[in-house]
Amino acid sequence: MTSSEDRPVRVRFAPSPTGKLHVGGARTAIFNWAFARANHGTFILRIDDTDPTRSTEENTQIILRAMRWLGLDWDEGPEVGGDFGPYKQTDRMDLYRKAAMDLIHEGKAYYCFCSPEKLAEDKRQAQLRHDPFQGYQRTCRNIPPAEAQARVDAGEPYTIRIKVPLDRGDVVVHDAVHGDVTFNAKELDDFIIFRSDGTPTYNFATVVDDSMMGITHVIRGDDHLSNTPRQIMVYEALGAPVPTFAHISMILGPDGKKLSKRHGATSVEEYRDAGYLSDAFVNYLALLGWSPDGETTIVPRDVLAREFSLEHVSKNPATFDQKKLDSINQTYIMAMSDHEFSEKILVPELRSAGLEPEGTTLHDSSWYDLLSSILKPRTTVMPDVIGKSRFLYEGDEVALDEKSVQKNIAKPDTRSYLTAAREALAALPADGFKADAIDAALEPVPEQLGTNKRKFYGALRVAACGNMVSPPLGPSLELLGQACTLARIDRALPLAQ
């Protein structure tokens, strides 16, 4: 039998469209994509939609959108095609039926006519006997094929079960993450591969697909490890090569429990909408259970695609750390040029908030580049720029934060602070109203007034920017422009003492 190591690498990500693509599934997709790219292999996207009650086309489209946003381009699958399609399980039903019929004809599977009541009673009796084996009692295993076919033809309800060889030794899963994991074959019953409603079970359909698609490595969550011995039985019955398995650890929340909605956002699109960069998000998820050296935290996409290996995947659970994700996102933002930040983050966000018109801009590129230079170090996620920029779009009538006014303007001597600041700023030439010149003009004023800088700049900042948490004052005033700055000071003067 051909080893998976001797064949060109082919891996698949096979989500079920029963909901959105969540963090755990995205991490699995990233590992498969990176393994394929690092080994010059093929990355396949397959939609496992055999659960008709929960699978929807809408969810399929959500998954495809999330994969595209993550930048995980697939070589075969929906919208791409390929030589091993179809790539949706609901379009492959004839292939599953044929595979099941072939196993019956080869004596490797059989029809089972046991009712649910019969199965429940058999299990109860096994428990009463303290039978060490309490699975299916193989009641129909030895029905002569002709008799079984006659009962099927007569319309009797049935399932199809696989024949687990009675002399099968231990099932050893050669796992690239966990090492060899041994299961006692005697604990495996003749499990169902086709249900009475005519649909294949997961453990059958996925093996038929993986074998027909030539999958060499199955990289998936370790919650599937318990399925693996049954799947190996199917591979052996089909006479197909058993792939290399790599079961990756689950992702935990900060409380040590499996990551879920109680920990906050869990779907890929929630993180996209919250303003994370896809490159940063992929970087962070890749580090949940894998690291090139145990220390590096910034792994650009091209490095991940070059250096990823199963040898560096940890068998220990990974903990989702929001602060680390924020830090990595901020690092990617800081790596942008001011112009790139302006084009990819600042202007799109301002448009989404209605501050900038669609299809055009209110200022020249140097204005946005200057704003980018002061916002970039203060941006963790993309929408952060909206709150920090809003004061620039309020004209002469900036909204004044009442607490900031009471603390910084409605105080003794603040009228003199604002008057002196106005005189210093008005003295600058209109075409020289730049951050450096503004800072230089204001620098000596507090000492001339005999006050401290905190009080002086606090009053001016609130008057011009509306609150105490605006970006650096010099660039902020340059962005406002001289006329607007002076008008805002004039408006605040009556509030001062």
Distances in whole angstroms, Cα of residue 46 to Cα of each of 29, 209, 216, 282, 465: 11, 9, 15, 20, 53
DSSP 471: S
Tokens of 423: 């005189």
Write out the H or E segment, with its range, that includes residue 298: none
Whole-angstrom distance, CA of residue 139 vs CA of residue 5: 40
Interatomic CA distance for residues 55 and 408, integer angstroms: 58
Ramachandran area for residue 413 (φ above 0: left; ψ -120 to 50: alpha; else beta)? left
DSSP string, 442-455: HTTHHHHHT--HHH
Distances (CA, A) of 122 to 84, 111, 137, 141, 165: 42, 18, 7, 15, 21
Q: What are the tokens at 133?
A: 């084996």
Tokens 């498969």 belong to residue: 32
In contact, 199 and 50? CB cutoff 8 Å? yes
Which residues are CB-neighbours of 203 under 8 A, at least 6 positions away?
191, 193, 227, 230, 231, 234
How many Å is the Cα radius of gyration of the chain? 33
Q: What share of the chain is helix, strand, coil (3-state, %, to 5)?
A: 50, 10, 40
Rounded distance, CA 420 to CA 402, Å? Answer: 23
Query: How far, in Å, CA of 192 to CA of 158, rounded?
Result: 10
Q: Is 261 a catalytic residue?
A: yes
- Report how far residue 33's alpha carbon sits from residue 195's, in angstroms, rounded to the nearest whole number: 33
How many CB atoms neighbour CB 447 within 10 A? 11
Q: Which of 258, 261, 315, 403 is catalytic?
A: 261
Distance (Å, whole) CA 269 – CA 271: 5
Name the E strands within 58-166. Answer: 109-112, 159-162
DSSP state of 249: P
Cβ contacts of 347 within 8 Å, gap of 6 or more: 356, 361, 368
Residues in the chain: 497
Task: Tally Cβ neighbours within 10 Å of residue 130.
Answer: 7
Is the peptide bond between 292 and the residue preceding it cis, with omega within 30 degrees of 0? Answer: no
- Whether 408 contacts 456, CB under 8 Å: no
Q: CA–CA separation, 270 vs 54, rounded Å?
A: 21
State both tokens at 400: 């004044």
Cβ neighbours of 24 (radius 10 Å):
21
Active-site residue numbers? 261
